[in-house]
Amino acid sequence: MAEAILLFYSGNTWSQVMLHPQRRTVHWILQVVGSLCVIVGIALEYYWRDINNKLHFHDTHSILGLVALILMLLSMTNGVGALFSVELRRKIKPVYMKLGHQFVGLCCFVIGMAALVLGFDKKIFRNNSTPEMRTTLQVFTVLVILTSSLGVIRTILSQLKTLFR
């Protein structure tokens, strides 16, 4: 999902050879694939907890994951609106649709990645990795959050400036 966000960032060299409509298509395909992985993963974890009589959504990792899931569904919904914003411009300005999609998507991404960082400290991961590996993965995940968010934050600020002129 991070790569889907980076598609529109000017510093991302591989996507710069694509035209904007191509980037938009690759973006939604990557987001749909990533979203399906998230939904399947959460559903499997929910099922496993259910059959083992374990609590659902009881720690920070799982609560952040649930919040990210809800924001992901909202972002996907307003992403469809942003995709067709030109056609919907009589009802709502395209900049509002795109700004809403970018803001909700950014929140979803950051919260989901925070859940991932916390997931590296879960028992199953601790039992199958070294402390150095977990720390390295956490640091790299934070770096991915920061680099992936830069372009979106700049775009959001630029659109806000346009709105308030």
Contact 76, 30 (CB under 8 A): no
Task: Name the burial class of residue 50, with classes exposed (0-12), middle (13-18) and buried (19+) by CB atoms within 10 angstroms of its CB.
Answer: exposed
How is the chain split among helix, strand and coil, in percent rounded to 5? 80, 0, 20
Q: What is the pTM of this model?
A: 0.91
Task: Name the burial class of residue 12, with classes exposed (0-12), middle (13-18) and buried (19+) by CB atoms within 10 angstroms of its CB.
Answer: middle
Structural domain count, the chain: 1
Q: What pLDDT, on a 0 to 100 scale, did the predictor assign at position 82? A: 85
- Residues of the chain scoring pLDDT < 50: none
Domain of 40? 2-163
Q: What pLDDT, on a 0 to 100 scale, did the predictor assign at position 145? A: 96
- Distance (Å, whole) CA 21 – CA 15: 11
